[in-house]
């Protein structure tokens, strides 16, 4: 069985991977850019918002991080990675 991924989603996944790589080396601004581009292509992907939230938090941009964490929960309420950060950012 072959899974067909539309090109736009494939591009979003590629951008997510690039964002993850940038985040891993501490290039938070570049990571945010990649995640933002991916979100434009796949705005219902909760992982993209969660990852961008982490990048914002690493930059100390806690309001942006909170907004993305809240968006993550609105898309996927049971996403476990975001529960702790939302509590932290809202303190």
Amino acid 84: pLDDT: 55
Amino acid 77: pLDDT: 87
Residues 40-91: tens digit of each pLDDT: 999 999 999 999 999 999 999 999 999 999 999 999 988 776 555 544 544 4
> pLDDT confidence of 38, banded at 50, 70, 90?
very high
Structure tokens belonging to residue 61: 């941009």
Residues 19-36: tens digit of each pLDDT: 999 999 999 999 999 999
Helix (H, G, I), strand (E, B) or coil at 18: helix
Structure tokens belonging to residue 39: 């979100």
pTM over 0.95: no
C-alpha to C-alpha distances, 20 to 10, 24, 26, 32, 74, nearest whole angstrom: 15, 6, 10, 10, 22
Cα Rg of the chain (Å, integer): 13
């Amino acid at each position: 069985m072959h899974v067909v991924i539309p090109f736009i989603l494939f591009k979003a996944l590629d951008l997510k991977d690039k964002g993850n790589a940038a985040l891993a080396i501490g290039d938070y601004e570049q990571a945010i850019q990649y995640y933002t581009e991916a979100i434009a292509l796949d705005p219902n992907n909760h992982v993209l918002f969660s990852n961008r939230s982490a990048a914002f938090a690493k930059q100390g941009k806690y309001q942006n991080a909170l907004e993305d964490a809240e968006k993550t929960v609105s898309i996927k309420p049971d996403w476990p990675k975001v529960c702790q950060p939302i509590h932290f950012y809202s303190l």
